[in-house]
Amino acid sequence: MSKSVVVLVSFLLCYAVLHCDGAASDIQLDAKAQSTHRIDSLNLLSYTFLLILTVLTIWLFKHRRVSFLHETGLAVIYGLIVGAIIRYSGSPSHVLNMQVFANDPKYNSSLPPDTVSLHFPVKGPYVKTNKTFQYTFRGEIADPVENEIDLKATFDPEIFFNIILPPIIFHAGYSLKRKYFFRNLGAILTFAIIGTTISSFIVGALMYGFVQLMPAKLASSITFLDTLYFGALISSTDPLTILAIFNDLHVDVNLYALVFGESVLNDAVAIVLSG
């Protein structure tokens, strides 16, 4: 009877040791998730602080009638200051970078995969388990980012163009006086179609000229079509700051309609040219 109890207790102790060691990796993963949540909370706190500071500054500027600096420019200055503080202050956090190569030597797809499944062996003093983690595609990078706060605070341009920018454009379109827009439709189409086309070719030609001044190895990799593509992209402008200043200065409605109408229609022209 006593031998059976000893064997049972020994078995339970071994199972508990193995189970606790296997759960150690889960504890570390939970700690990493908590660290990520803390960084996200810090970023949200920074964004909220910047938003409150910008709103208070706008109120102060309007109350004091300060006209030498617009609030949009001041918001950009605030962002530059906070970005410089995040980039150049503090010690880098522990970010593990690992190079992963394709297991199949015949893999020669022209596009990278959307997700990568990493089979990671978790080692311990008593047990070794294999776990699979999945990582999503973020884009091509030149140098790995060592600061996790810097990585989290970097603004995703897709969020700006797909989430933040459309409501601004729609609000400006709904608040536009349609009478002045259609009255100046001919001039708007001229600026949007002919002006954007001329700008694309001029910028592309200038860029191609500068490319020819580069070393032959670099110049041979950039064609005239590539510079025209860049010219079409750079010619599509969104003068949101200018429209905000026009709204505060109460400029002529015809000028506002020209600038806004051209900024809306030149996107379609740039898409056609770049396609």
Domain residue extents for the chain: 2-88, 155-274
Q: pLDDT tens for residues 224-261?
A: 888 888 888 888 877 777 777 787 778 888 888 888 88
Instruction: Identify the pLDDT of residue 57.
Output: 85
CA-CA-CA-CA dihedral for 37, 41, 43, 48, to nearest 10: 160
**Helices and strands in the chain, H and E counts:** 13, 2
Q: pLDDT tens for residues 10-40?
A: 555 555 445 554 455 566 667 777 777 777 7
Fill in the DSSP letter of residue 163. Answer: I
Q: What is the 3-state secondary structure (H, E, C) of 30-79?
A: HHHHHHHHHHHHHHHHHHHHHHHHHHHHHHHHHHHCCCCCCHHHHHHHHH
Q: pLDDT tens for residues 118-173?
A: 776 666 555 456 667 777 776 666 665 555 566 656 667 777 777 777 777 677 66
Instruction: Identify the pLDDT of residue 104.
Output: 67
* Two structure tokens written together for 19: 């189970």
Determine the Cα–Cα distance for residues 210 and 203; give it in Å rounded to an integer. 11
pTM: 0.50
Compute CA 10 distance to the chain's CA centroid, rounded to the nearest angstrom.
55
Q: Which residue has the tokens 């506002």?
A: 256
If we measure between CA atoms, which residue out of 243, 217, 230, 208 comes closest to residue 274? 230
- The pair phi, psi for residue 153, each rounded to 5°, is -80, -15
Q: DSSP for 176-231?
A: S-HHHHHHTHHHHHIIIIIIHHHHHHHHHHHHHHHHHTS-HHHHTTS-HHHHHHHH
Instruction: Identify the pLDDT of residue 25.
Output: 58
If we measure between CA atoms, which residue out of 95, 104, 275, 274 comes closest to residue 200? 274
